[in-house]
Amino acid sequence: MEKILDIVDAIAHEKGLQPEKVLEALKTAFVQTAKRVIDRNFAFEANVDEATKCIEIVQTITVVADDDEKLQDEEVAPAYISITDAREYDDQVELDDQLQIPHDLEEYGRTGASQLHREIEYHIQRLVEDELFNKYMSKIGTLVTGRVTSVDSHNATYIEVDEVRAVLPMKSRIKGEIFKKGDHLKAVVRRVNMDKENGIQIELSRTSPKFLEELLALEVPEIADGAVIIEKSARIPGERAKIALLSTHPQVDAVGATVGVKGVRINAVSQELIGENIDCVEYTTIPELFISRVMSPAIISHVEIIKNEDGDAEKAIVTLPADQKSKAIGKSGINIRLASMLTGLNIEIVENDAVTTEDGEIEEARDGVDALQALFS
């Protein structure tokens, strides 16, 4: 057991841990070993002897009077010693002093050594798991890249990400995606759990709106450096997405920078998302204007925000020409669903008698004939 501190730096370097935390884990292992091989009811402490580079185990015990009732209580008696017995160790002790009685685990032979070995392994492993848990907890919502190691019978994809194995459930895959062993893929960390039986469990996602945001930050330098901010995003994975962008620099066009020249940037992200169409809109704090932009490609006549009793917006009534209704709703309702997700409001569509000209202007109809003439002229 001598010079056991010499292995602290070696363990810390091998496992990527802080030496101080490794030392605390070793001290805990010594204390637990002492409790198992000496007496579970004793209060032990592990002290570091810098001179000998070893860890010493001492039993801390409180000195009480010979007739103290605590000595007769089986539950608490191990924590106390009578003053008469205490003075056999130190003739200077007084009542209520804390007496420390040294113990040598080597005296317990192979039993003590094997128990200590198991305790050290256990506490170092727990320390490694805690470090990984904290590391990946801080990565929730961020992009990671890994290699597929296997796909199980439930189509859950297992991915090797640095020093851990993560899982991409089928529900978190984009529809139509098929992965095989050896593939490299990107995903965001969705959830991190610690299980006593299975250790750290990391769940990834490719369907989260955060995945879209992280891919855009990877592809668009203006987003990565903060010149463009993604205020909100909404996705129906594999089909369509909408993102609300805000420029923090007067000379940067948020939408233009994100789309890129001839759409090169947004197309690169779309390819990673299996052809998902991505609509970019400029964010504004004016809710009526924001909703009209989010409803694109439909052209909106009027937006009215309905508030609840607490004054919070809960619904938007969107008025538009009849010929814009199908665009506002979108295929299978996808456009209005995304608009609702992005704004956080229920959106109700109301048709009016206006028509839309070829130039995209809304013109109020005077009567049925004029309306048709305006529409087809």
Distance CA 32, CA 119 (A): 7
Q: How many CB atoms lie within 10 A of CB 175?
A: 10
The domains spanning 6-136 and 289-377 adopt the same CATH topology: no
What length is written for the chain? 377
Long-range contacts made by residues 138-141, C-beta under 8 angstroms, separation at least 24?
A: 139/189, 140/189, 140/190, 140/191, 140/192, 141/188, 141/189, 141/210, 141/214
Distance CA 16, CA 12 (A): 6
Q: Is the pLDDT assigned to residue 111 strictly greater than 50? A: yes
Sheet of 277-282: strand order equals 228-236, 240-247, 277-282
> Side-chain half-sphere of 112: how many Cα atoms within 13 Å?
16
DSSP string, 149-184: EEE-TT-PEEEEETTEEEEE-GGGSPTT----TT-E
Residue range 178-217, pLDDT digits in tens: 999 999 999 999 999 988 777 789 999 999 999 999 999 9
Residue range 250-280, pLDDT digits in tens: 999 999 999 999 999 999 999 999 999 999 9
Q: Which pLDDT does position 98 carry in this prediction?
A: 80
Of 281, 371, 373, 275, the C-alpha closest to 335 is 281
Predicted TM-score (pTM) of the model is: 0.76
In degrees, rounded to 5, the angle at the alpha carbon of residue 122 between the alpha carbons of residues 118 and 124 is 120
Residue range 214-228, pLDDT digits in tens: 999 999 999 999 999
Across the range 70-91, mean pLDDT stands at 79
Residue range 344-376, pLDDT digits in tens: 999 999 998 766 665 556 666 544 444 434 443
Sign of the four-CA dihedral 137, 143, 148, 153:
positive
Distance CA 80, CA 95 (A): 11
Of residues 359 and 105, more confidently modeled: 105
Q: Please, what is the average pLDDT of the chain?
A: 87
Quick one: fold of 289-377? Answer: GMP Synthetase; Chain A, domain 3 (3.30.300)
The DSSP 8-state label assigned to residue 271 in this structure reads H
Q: Is the pLDDT assigned to residue 167 strictly greater than 50? A: yes
CATH of 6-136, one of 3.40.1350, 3.30.1480, 3.40.190, 3.40.50: 3.30.1480
> Between the CA of residue 177 and those of 109, 189, 206, 233, what are the distances in Å?
58, 18, 10, 22
Q: Which pLDDT does position 363 carry in this prediction?
A: 63
Q: Is the pLDDT assigned to residue 245 strictly greater than 90? A: yes
Domain spanning 208-283: which CATH class is it, in words?
alpha beta
Distance CA 130, CA 20 (A): 15
Across the range 306-320, mean pLDDT stands at 88
Domain-wise residue ranges, the chain: 6-136, 146-203, 208-283, 289-377
Q: Does domain 146-203 have CATH number 2.40.50.140?
A: yes
Q: Which pLDDT does position 5 carry in this prediction?
A: 73
